[in-house]
Amino acid sequence: MTTESFRGSNDSRCVFFNTDSEDHRCFLILTVKRATGTFSLVGCLWMLFVIWLLRRYNSIAQKMILSLTIAAFFDSVAYVMGDTHLDGWLCDFQAWWLTYFDWSALAWVFLITLNLYLNLVYETSTNKFEIFYHLTAWGVPLAMASLPLLKGFYGRAGAWCWITGDHVAWRFGIWYVPLFTLILLMICCYARIICVANKRMQSWLGTFNPERERRKISLAEEIRPLKWYPSVYLLVSIFPLINRLHNALYPQDPSFPLTFLHVLSAPLHGLANSFVFGLDRDWWSLLSPAGLQLALQSRLCDQTRIGEYYPGTVRYTQADLADLSDDEDDTNVLFYSPDMALKDRGP
């Protein structure tokens, strides 16, 4: 989440380290933070565009991925916010925002794993849990982000605002301990999912059955991209955890390499999610030049409307009525104008 701040004088822009001569390092830290945050924003926007373009928000799994993308997008916004902040309401707001959407994104990843576990291991329909998922993914982060705010523990914390270095236990209790606990649970869930899936695919061996083959392929395709979400959170959280441990042991001697790796990896949740999102081959097949053109036309140019049909008056001429046996002209009339005289072709 954060890097350890050194509470230097207010006239210095560098609040990461304890000497004013290291402003170039502070500039590098801020530049990397903004760059990684911007990359994540772009990745989230791409995901939202593809979901909107292909209308992939109908099933509960698709809706959960959409909610994860929204949470990751707003989480990335927090990392792009401003420079270093002095203590105040703006700093508290950034810290609350960052904690809330970090937690929300993590909650959606865990719920996606839980949803897949219930679907495949227990073969349970989870559509009835949709409201529960939303209450959990948006409600629990609200509590976790508001507790430090009510306690007054937010403040300057390096490249962004978060829980200050005076409250190390709260840093680990609010974020790092729950984070790695949930990651461990997700890894166990996916190990169980893969084990059950392999047993089912082995049980389908034997006489060729098209339906079984289709279910086997569908099962493998569903598991493959989703299993990477816990790995993503594990990878982007390793260096922040190491830096937090160093900050706790040496609060007055922050490490520039660890701080750099921290700001390089922590804001990458959104970008990493977009890479996992891109592992689904079905998306790329639909985003071929021809498929992209059809999807854009469907989204932007489809003006089909359903209206009430009012039939016009059909007039028959005397000659037409007299010539009922004329079968030489067998032309079908596709469009009708009120001024047209239609020939009654008979039964």
Give the distance from CA 167 to its chain's centroid.
Answer: 31
Chain position carrying tokens 């790695």: 180
> Taking Cα atoms as reference points, which of 251, 248, 244, 250 lies closest to residue 266?
244
- pLDDT tier for residue 319 given thresholds of 50, 70 and 90: very low
pLDDT at 317 (0 to 100):
46
Q: Report the sign of the C-alpha dihedral through residues 221, 227, 231, 232, in that order.
A: positive
pTM over 0.85, yes/no = no
Burial of 287 by CB count in 10 Å (0-12 exposed, 13-18 middle, 19+ buried)? middle
Helix (H) or strand (E) holding 311, with range, is: none
Give burial (CB, 10 Å; 0-12/13-18/19+) of 301.
exposed
Over residues 249-266, the mean pLDDT reads 84
* CA 158 and chain centroid, separation: 27
Over range 258-281, report the average pLDDT. Answer: 84
Report the pLDDT averaged over residues 265-280: 83
Q: What is the pLDDT of residue 219?
A: 58
pLDDT per position as a tens digit, 93-139: 989 999 999 999 999 999 999 988 888 888 788 889 999 999 999 99
161, 155 in Cβ contact below 8 A? Answer: yes
Distance (Å, rounded) from C-alpha 312 to C-alpha 17?
84
List strand residue ranges (DSSP E) for 54-111, in order. Answer: none
Query: Could you give the percent of the chain with pLDDT greater than 70?
Result: 69
Distance CA 254, CA 249 (A): 10
With beta carbons less than 8 A apart as the criterion, state whether 99 and 175 touch.
yes
Cα separation, 215 vs 7, whole angstroms = 59
- The per-residue pLDDT for 70 is 95
pLDDT of residue 74: 94
- 28-37, 168-177, 178-187, 313-322: least confident range: 313-322
Q: Averaged over 294-310, what is the pLDDT?
A: 63
The answer to whether the CB of 44 falls within 8 A of the CB of 67 is no
**What confidence category does residue 333 fall into, taking pLDDT thresholds of 50, 70 and 90?**
very low
The span from the CA of 46 to the CA of 43, in Å, is: 5
**Residue 249 binned pLDDT confidence (cut-offs 50, 70, 90):** confident
Q: Where are the beta strands (DSSP E) in the chain?
A: 154-156, 161-163
- Distance, in Å, from the CA atom of 142 to the CA atom of 167, rounded to the nearest integer, reads 20
> What's the whole-number mean pLDDT along residues 7-22?
47
**pLDDT tens-digit readout, 58-90:** 888 889 989 999 999 999 998 887 555 556 788
Residue 204 has pLDDT above 90, yes or no: no
The CA dihedral of 263, 244, 251, 173, to the nearest 10 degrees, is 130
pLDDT of residue 185 exceeding 60:
yes
Running DSSP on this structure, what letter comes out for residue 158? Answer: S
- State the angle between helix axes of 89-120 and 228-249 in degrees (0 to 180), rounded to the nearest 10: 140
Amino acid identity, position 78:
A
The larger pLDDT score, comparing residue 193 to residue 201, is at 193
Residue 144: half-sphere exposure toward Cβ, Cα within 13 Å: 26
DSSP for 116-148, please give it: HHHHHTS----GGGHHHHHHHHHHHHHHHHHHH
pLDDT of residue 210: 65
